[in-house]
Every structure is written in structure tokens, then in C-alpha cells.
Amino acid sequence: MESQLDLAAALAEIARLGQNVERLQQDVARAEFNLYTVYQISKTLGGVLSMEEVLGHVTDMMAEVMTVRGCYVLLPTEDQDALTVRSWRFPMRDGDDPPPALELRESESVPEWIESLEGEALAVSDFNNSLFGRAFPDGAEQLQAAGVKIVVPLVYKKRLMGLLALEEKYTNAEFGPADFQFLSVLAPLAANAVSNAQLYEQAILDGLTRLYVVRYFRQRCREEIKRAYRYGKPVSLILWDVDHFKNINDTYGHLVGDQVLRELGHLMKHATRVDVDIVARYGGEEFVFLLPETPREGALVLAERVRRRVEQHAFTSRELSLTVSGGIAAFPVDARDYASLVARADDELFRAKRHGRNRVCVPGMTPEAVRESVPNVLPGAPPSFG
């Protein structure tokens, strides 16, 4: 009898040790997976400078790794006084689902909250927490209404770059210590990538219009001309100038003038092809389009469309009206290098100004012939040029 009890005890101990070994194996496997994931994320984010790409990678990887129903990144608004959703991913929903309309107002307590983290990216699940609640007074109500379960601050050099918000897991499992520890490793990588992307944006984007700066445009233009020469493709350039812009500044002030330029930049950017055309602010009230693989005829159609769209647009809350003049030049028919291409487009822009403004000029055509050649162009998406 005693030997049977000893045997039963031994078997129970063996079973317990087996469970411990299995648990250790699972922990080791999870640790290996986490280490590999951190390595992959670090490698991916380290090679990306575009903010949109960085945020896309962050939301994609976080949503998959954390197995959540929704993941989004909140970044500061232009005024730097609130955080809004800039990127999102919903693995279990329709790809067209919009993100929650979050706008978390920051208070003067944000630095105190960041200081309390002591350099670690700690996940917040209690949005009424005294420090987090003081930092974002209206945050708890908005986050809970959006179904957010935890928020992870993205902190870089004691600066709050943004917030990572996660909904519940689609397995309905609770977030545990291992999840929080994992996020505390991943969040600094994401924060560093966001910081690098911001620095890159500041270097290539105009602070007012968020279009490319002229230095970046010149670089891309030279690259596109070399590529066009190699493959025998056309490249077109449109140089724009706002007609009588000084009158707006003199009449309404520079703040209204800045808003007009901001709206005009937005209008021009959304009239061109995403990730193909380059739209830059060329000077104070001058803009320029670089249109790869676009012949002069295609550029003319786009230019007339933009000109008419601007003419019909009511700018700012004052519903101001304005017009633009444009000059077109194309490689290789009008010029065969960057300097000559810009100079030829500038000549055509001057001709448009001289003929009364609010028109587009192109080599070899009168302004009247230009309008007659594109009689039915209406505001809308740009045509496909090939």
C-alpha cells in the first residue's frame, strides 16, 4: 500500500515536472518569437523615412502581432494641441471602415505624465488614471467610446511623438504582463521611426503647404529626366503663379494669404497622381508640377483642369476667388535638361501673364488655341497619362 502511494506521488511529481517543462518550452518559444519580431520590426522601420510608410508598417505589424481587432496611431495636429488618428488597421473588418474620430486635447500635464514613465513606454489601460487623465482630460470618454482597451505612448527623448491605441484581442483574451512587456520594447522602436520620419518631412516638405520644397523638386526632376532619357519616355513640367496674390495680402492680411496658399496647395496636390507626380512650392506664390511619363498634350489637359478648378473654388471662410496662370514645357520636345526645361516653362508662364492671366501657355500654341483644344475639361480626378 505504501509503495503504491509512493508510486502515485512519483507519477504526480513527474506530471508536474512535465507541465513545468511544457510551460518553459512555451515561454522559450514565445521569447524567441518576440525577439524575432522585434528584429524584423527594427529592420523594417529602420529603412523607411516616409511617414505614411512608417505608420502603415507600425499599424500593420502591431495589429498582427498583438492579434487585436483594431490598431491605430494618433499623432499631433498641425497646431500641436491635440492628437488625432493618422493611421489605422482593422484586420477583422472591411478595409474601407473609417477610424474613430478621436481628438485628444493635450493639457499642460503631458510633460509630467511623460516624466512619470521614466523612459519606458508603459501601456495604459486605466484611462482615468490620475496622470494620464490630467494629460488628456477628455481622453477617457473618447477612448472608451471607440472601444480602445490600451494606449501605449510613443516617447522619444522625453518627447511625446504620439499614441498607439489597441482595441480588444479577437481571441477575447486579456492583455497580460507579457503583452505589456512586449509593447514596452516595440513602442520605442516605433517612436524612433516616427521621429526620423518627421525630420525627413521637415527636410523635404514646405511647412505651410505641406508640398515638396524646391530643393527636393530639383533633385527629383533631374532624376526623372535621366530616367526619361534612358527609356525614351516624356516628362512634362507645369510652372504656376497665383494672379495678383499681393492684393489678397494687402486687403485681408498675411494670415488669410497663408490660408489661401494652404488651400491651393491641397487642391493642386489632390489634382495629380498619387505617388507618381511631384507637386512643389516653387516660391512665395509659385507652384510647380513634375509629371513623369506624361507628354505635353497630357500636361495641357491636366493644367486646364487645375486652372478651371482654382477659378471655381471659394477660398477660406471669406469665399475669396482667385486665378492662376501656368506655363508648360516637356522633355524632350521643348528642352533636354533640367535648367532648360524650367526656363522654357517660365517663358510660357510669362507669356500667360502677358496675355491677361488666368490661362495656360504651351510652346507653339496661342492661349486661345489652348482653351479651344481642351474645351470640355471639368474639375475632377486627373486623366491617366502614358
* Encoded amino acid at 255, one letter: L
Predicted confidence band of residue 65 (pLDDT cuts 50, 70, 90): confident
DSSP tag of 323: -
pTM above 0.95, yes or no: no
Dist. CA 268–CA 280, nearest whole Å: 9
Considering all CA atoms of the chain, what is the largest pairwise distance in Å, rounded to the nearest integer? 114
pLDDT exceeding 70 applies to what percent of the chain?
83
Dist. CA 324–CA 307, nearest whole Å: 6
Q: Which pLDDT belongs to residue 379?
A: 44
CA angle 31, 33, 37 (to 5 degrees): 115
Average pLDDT, the chain: 85
CATH numeric code, 26-203: 3.30.450.40
> Which residue would you say has higher pLDDT here, 373 or 269?
269
> Integer distance in angstroms from the first to the last C-alpha of the chain?
91
Radius of gyration (Cα) for the chain, nearest Å?
28
Residue whose C-alpha cell is 484581442: 169
Q: Which pLDDT belongs to residue 317?
A: 73
Flag whether pLDDT at 385 surpasses 60: no
Residue whose C-alpha cell is 518631412: 201
Mention the CATH class of domain 214-373.
Answer: alpha beta
Residue whose C-alpha cell is 492680411: 253
222: number of Cβ within 10 Å: 14
Dist. CA 192–CA 205, nearest whole Å: 20
Q: Residue 281 forms beta bridges with which residues?
A: 287
Mean pLDDT lowest for which of 32-46, 100-114, 211-225? 32-46
Flag whether pLDDT at 180 surpasses 90: no
CB-side neighbour CA atoms (13 Å) of 29: 6
167 is catalytic: no
User: Choosing from 285, 286, 293, 348, which is the catalytic residue?
Assistant: 285
Domain boundaries along the sequence of the chain = 26-203, 214-373
Short-list 150, 140, 59, 159, CA closest to 102: 140
Flag whether pLDDT at 380 surpasses 80: no
pLDDT in tens, 185-237: 888 888 989 999 888 888 899 989 999 999 999 999 999 999 999 999 999 99
DSSP tag of 169: B
Dist. CA 213–CA 230, nearest whole Å: 26
Specify the 3-state DSSP secondary structure of 137: coil
Q: Which pLDDT belongs to residue 381?
A: 41
Dist. CA 149–CA 121, nearest whole Å: 16
Mean pLDDT, range 337-363, rounded to an integer? 95
Mean pLDDT, range 296-318, rounded to an integer? 92
Q: What are phi and psi of 113, to 5 degrees?
A: -65, -45
> Which residue would you say has higher pLDDT here, 238 or 381?
238
Dist. CA 313–CA 261, nearest whole Å: 13
